[in-house]
Amino acid sequence: MQKYFRRACLAGAGLGALGGLSFAPLAAASAQVTAPSSVYVSSKGSNANAGTSAAPYKGIQYAIDHVAPGGIVHIAAGTYRQTFLINQPVTIDGAGDTKTIISNYNDSDTTVAGGPTNAGAPYYGTIGIDNLSGTAGTTTVENVKVWNPFFTATEAADLTPTDIANVNDAVAGDKVVVNNVVLGGATQEIPGTTTVENNVYGSIGYYQNDTTATATVENTMASGIFQAFFAEGNTSLSLTKDAVTDATPLGINGTIYPGEGVRGIADAVGTQNLSVTDSTFSGYAGFGIKSEAGYTSGNCNTACVGTENLTASGNTFTLKGRTGAAAIALLADNSTSSLSATLTDNTGTVTSPTVGISESATGSSLSVSETGNTIK
């Protein structure tokens, strides 16, 4: 099921398949040379302004396209119903994770019969990260709340609402940092009306796939989300001092899938490196960390293969009971896949029938090293 979750919406189209992301081109090279190193955005600003603190822009995408590579986009406190693509190495710096709120719902587009919609493309996500500049650097998102990846009832069939999507970056040496961010759940349109109902459908908080950029997500809280942090394919993701609460189950055709705090799937030839350290998982009936090498469902009509390296250390779990769930679940799915896990000093409690650590290998290589884990 999780395989379909990603491939159905992204295959063959890169981030473009996350239709909510507005792919504005980078400014011309001549403009980039003279672009300022800092620009400012306010919900009361205007793109006709100079982008200074006294005369801020209104559009976050506009600001990204008019700041120098390596620069900072300062976003004032307020609610921004905007989607954007971070298409060069810059820092997106809000006023605080309870003060600067980026919400995909409705944006500035028209309301049509059947509910709010994006006049240009369907909404599938809120922030996209894909360095198109060709110059390596660090992209940072910090001090903001990102939530409400809006989608219509029809779009819900694609299972793709995502708060932050870091996909297909091919620039060697790139880094992504997400720090002090709050991630929240999706909103679904109620057909025939212009109202919405919050958190009625599972979504992804932070998603990373097939990117050469190494990423760190730290001091970030996710709530009301099906998959809070999701890494797929050949990629490297480090999660440090993050918190997952109330991971939301997902229902498809009568089947209920438990919420997942961290999901790793190595489903492409190559290696995924996933590290989860000093993070907390609490208040829901589902998985804390679910790590998988290989995949045999969804768009993998033939078995997808991959190598997964998981390190989980110092994490705390307080989970409710759910059949088939575990605080840490390790799965190696086919004969050509390999999963190596190092589990150290993970603690906490899980309510039966949830288990502490589960291991499953189907004709494949599963190597687990455990030290000092006390999950009861």
* DSSP letter (8 states) at residue 135: -
β-strands 84-86, 125-129: how paired?
parallel
Query: In Å, how far are 100, 156, 225 from 6, measured between CA atoms?
Result: 28, 13, 15
What percentage of the chain has pLDDT greater than the value 70? 76
> How far, in Å, CA of 40 to CA of 62, rounded?
10
Q: What is the DSSP secondary-structure string of 215-247?
A: EEEES-EEES-SEEEEEESS-EEEEES-EEESP
Q: What is the pLDDT, as a whole number, of residue 167?
A: 85
Segment 186-189 long-range contacts (CB within 8 Å, at least 24 positions apart): 186/148, 186/149, 186/150, 186/151, 186/161, 186/225, 187/104, 187/105, 187/148, 187/149, 187/150, 187/151, 188/151, 188/152, 188/153, 188/156, 189/114, 189/115, 189/116, 189/117, 189/150, 189/151, 189/152, 189/153
Q: What is the pTM of this model?
A: 0.85
Report the pLDDT value the prediction gives residue 277, as an integer from 0 to 100: 98
Residue pLDDT, tens place only, 51-88: 999 999 999 999 999 999 999 999 999 999 888 889 99
Q: What is the pLDDT of residue 158?
A: 52
What pLDDT score was predicted for residue 339? 95
Average pLDDT over residues 360-366: 84
Q: What is the pLDDT of residues 30-49, one digit of tens each?
A: 344 589 999 999 999 999 99
Q: Is the pLDDT of residue 147 over 60?
A: yes
